[in-house]
Amino acid sequence: MTLKLYFGPGACSFVPHALLETHGIEFEPIMLKLHKGEQYEPAFMQINPRSQVPVLIDGKLIITQVMAIILYLEAKFSNAYFFPSDPAERAKALEIFAWMNNTVHATFMHIFMPRKFTDHEPSQIEIKKFAVSQYRLHLNEIQKYVQVSQELGKEWLTGGSISPLDVYALTLMRWGTMAQISPSEFPLLWSFVQRVGDAPGVKRAIVRERLQLDVSQKS
Ligand SMILES: N[C@@H](CCC(=O)N[C@@H](CS)C(=O)NCC(=O)O)C(=O)O
């Protein structure tokens, strides 16, 4: 039975989307236009009452949350590379993955959707401003992970194959440009992210989602 992935262009669902493409796993992509509020339509809310992407459907199984989806794919497609197999290296990779998901991603939500944190509009402006400064620190930390991996001679963040960390790094850098953080502030991270975007599976997901990596001039 074919997997189904609900995704929003440019959203965190890009992480499972690009990994499914990278590994040539058959799936049906289903696009939701988040800016049009399609995640709040009753048919989708029956699938995910939290009104969020990504959602992966495998038969009767409905999985939400980037981390749960990625770990499910890793367990199901055991020949495909997601994380290192060495226990210590795997733990360190999962540590960064969890931080990207629960901290960097969450910080961006304060920039992109400050209304989720207060309905007081002047406070929303303050929340957003402070979150942009925090987000820069996070991008700097990701850039350091790129630097360390390159010093160790690794092609990608966890070794010789693309992992969810590389694709998340691309997504988070791209979101930074949505917050008017210029790629020129993070030259090493930016050149890395462009290389990730050129990897064939990642590129297919970029084309399907019609993404530009630097949107700082658009908004
Ligand atoms: N913790 C969740 C976060 C999911 C999330 O924030 N999804 C966003 C896109 S990046 C979304 O669907 N937002 C729509 C909304 O909240 O209205 C995960 O890891 O999957």
Residue 50 CA, closest ligand 1 atom number: 16
Give the pLDDT confidence score for residue 217 in this predicted structure: 77
- Ligand 1 pocket member 177 (CB < 6 A): no
- Residue 125's pLDDT is 94
Q: Is 66 touching ligand 1 by the criterion CB < 6 Å?
A: yes
Sheet holding 61-64, edge to edge: 27-31, 3-7, 55-58, 61-64
Q: Residues of CATH 1.20.1050.10 domain(s) within the chain?
A: 87-199
The Cα–Cα gap between 18 and 68 comes to: 16
Angle at 7 between CA 5 and CA 12, to 5 degrees: 115
pLDDT digits (tens, 9 = 90+) for 85-99: 999 999 999 999 999
Which DSSP category does 61 fall into? E
* Residue 158 Cβ < 6 Å to ligand 1: no
pLDDT at 8 (0 to 100):
98
CA-CA distance, 110 to 210, in Å (whole number)?
25
Residue 67: other Cβ atoms inside 10 A: 15
Nearest atom, ligand 1, residue 65 CA: 20
Q: Is residue 159 in contact with ligand 1, taking CB distance under 6 Å? A: no
Q: Which fold has domain 3-76?
A: Glutaredoxin (3.40.30)
Cα of 117 vs centre of ligand 1, distance in Å, is 14
What whole-number percentage of the chain has pLDDT above 90?
97
Decide which of 1.20.1250.20, 3.40.30.10, 3.30.450.20, 1.20.1050.10 is the CATH code for 87-199.
1.20.1050.10
Tally of CB atoms within 10 A around 39:
20
- Distance (Å) from CA 150 to ligand 1 centroid: 31
Indicate the average pLDDT of the chain: 96
Structure pTM?
Answer: 0.96
Q: Residue 24: what pLDDT?
A: 97
pLDDT at 102 over 70: yes
Q: Where in the chain is the domain with CATH 3.40.30.10?
A: 3-76
Burial of 91 (0-12, 13-18, 19+ CB in 10 A): exposed
Is the Cβ–Cβ distance between 8 and 34 less than 8 Å?
Answer: yes
Tell whether the model's pLDDT for residue 206 goes beyond 80. Answer: yes
In tens, the pLDDT along 45-72 reads 999 999 999 999 999 999 999 999 999 9
pLDDT at 219: 55
CA distances (Å), origin 19, targets 85, 129, 196: 17, 32, 12
- Could you report the per-residue pLDDT of 110-152, keeping only the tens digit for each? 999 999 999 999 999 999 999 999 999 999 999 999 999 999 9
Torsion sign across C-alpha atoms 98, 65, 208, 171? negative
- What confidence category does residue 12 fall into, taking pLDDT thresholds of 50, 70 and 90? very high
